[in-house]
Amino acid sequence: MGKEALESPTSSFQNSLSTIIPWKEKMVNFKSYVSYQDDRQTLEITPANYLQFPYRDSLKGPIKTIDFTPGSTAYQYFRIKSLDTSHSANISFSSKGWTFTPQVGFDFSSDQLNTNFDGTTVTNSPDFTSLAYENDLKFMRINPNASVGINYKSESWSLYSNFPVNFNSIKAEDAFRNVSKSLNKVTFTPNIFVQYSFASFFKASMSGGISNNFGDIQTAYAGYILTSPGGFNVMNPSNPIPETNTKNGGVRLEYRNPLNNLFFNLGYRLSDAKIIY
C-alpha cells in the first residue's frame, strides 16, 4: 500500500493603482499593477516503487521501470517565485466623432524556478543525485510598448481599433543545465472592428487582428520534473524560445427587429496560428 503526502503553501501580494492626472487641458490616465507570488510544493511518496516509471539506460536499451530501493521514499521539492509588473499612461484627443488615444507602457516579469527530485535505486540508475534532476532557472521578460487607439462613432458607423508595437526581450538562464537562451523581437499586433448600421434593423460588421505569444518558464526548464504519476517531464536546453503568431478575421450580419420579435445573425470567422521556433 502506497502513501503520498503533499504540502503546497502559497503566498501572494497584489497592488493596483489607477489615477487621472491633469496635464494642460487634457487628462492623463495612469495605471500600475504589481503582483508577487511564491508557490512551494513538497511531495513525498512511500514506498518509492509505487511509482512505475518507464526508463531505459541508453537510447537503444530496452524500456523498463525504474527499480527503486524497496521500502525507500521518493521526494520532490518544487518552488516558483513570480513577479509581474505593468505600468502605462495614455491620453485622449477627440474631434468630430474621432477619438485618438496614444499610450506608452512598460511590462516586466521575472520567474525563478527551483526543483529537486530525490530517491534511491537498487543499481543507482538513474542517479537522482545528479544535476539532471534539479532546476535553478530564471526566466525574465521585458516589454516596453507603445500603441495608438483610433475610434470613430457616427449614426451609422462604428470603428474601434488599436495599433500596438511591442519591444519583446526574453531571457532564460540555468547554468548547471546549460540553459542560456534569449529572444529579442519587435511585434506589431493590430486589431480592428468596424460596424455599419442600415435599414433600421440591420448591422454588418467585420473584425480582424494579429497576436503574438511567446513561451514561458514552462517551456524552458532542462532538469527532470515529476509532473504526473506517469513520469518525468523535461525540455531540451537547446530548444529556442517558442513563438505563436495568430491571425484572425471575421464578418457578421445581424438583424434585430423588436417590433415583431425577429432576430437572426450570420457570421464567418477564420483563424490561422503558426508556431515559430
Buried b (16+ CB within 10 A) or exposed e, 53-77: bebeeeeeeeeeebebbeeebbbbe
What does the alpha-carbon distance between residue 37 and residue 231 come to, in Å, rounded to a whole number? 27
What does the alpha-carbon distance between residue 105 and residue 88 come to, in Å, rounded to a whole number? 4
Dihedral sign (CA 106, 19, 193, 268): positive
Q: Are 154 and 98 in contact (CB under 8 A)?
A: no
Buried b (16+ CB within 10 A) or exposed e, 110-123: bbbbbbbbebebee
What does the alpha-carbon distance between residue 53 and residue 58 come to, in Å, rounded to a whole number? 15
> What pLDDT does 37 receive?
96
Joined grid coordinates for residue 148: 495608438
DSSP state of 62: P
Could you list the pLDDT tens digit for every one of the 277 residues in the chain?
556 777 788 899 999 999 999 988 889 999 999 999 999 999 999 988 888 888 887 777 788 888 889 989 999 999 999 999 999 999 999 999 999 999 999 999 999 999 999 999 998 888 999 999 999 999 999 999 999 999 999 999 999 999 999 999 999 999 999 999 999 999 999 999 999 999 889 999 999 999 999 999 999 999 999 988 778 999 999 999 999 999 999 999 999 988 888 898 999 999 999 988 7
Q: Are 222 and 232 in contact (CB under 8 A)?
A: no
User: CA nearest 185: which of 258, 117, 267, 276?
Assistant: 276
Q: What does residue 219 show for φ and ψ, rounded to 5 degrees? A: -105, 10
What does the alpha-carbon distance between residue 237 and residue 54 come to, in Å, rounded to a whole number? 22
Reduce the DSSP state of residue 127 to 3 states and report it: coil
Query: Is the peptide bond between 47 and the residue preceding it cis, with omega within 30 degrees of 0?
Result: yes
User: CA nearest 214: which of 236, 242, 189?
Assistant: 242
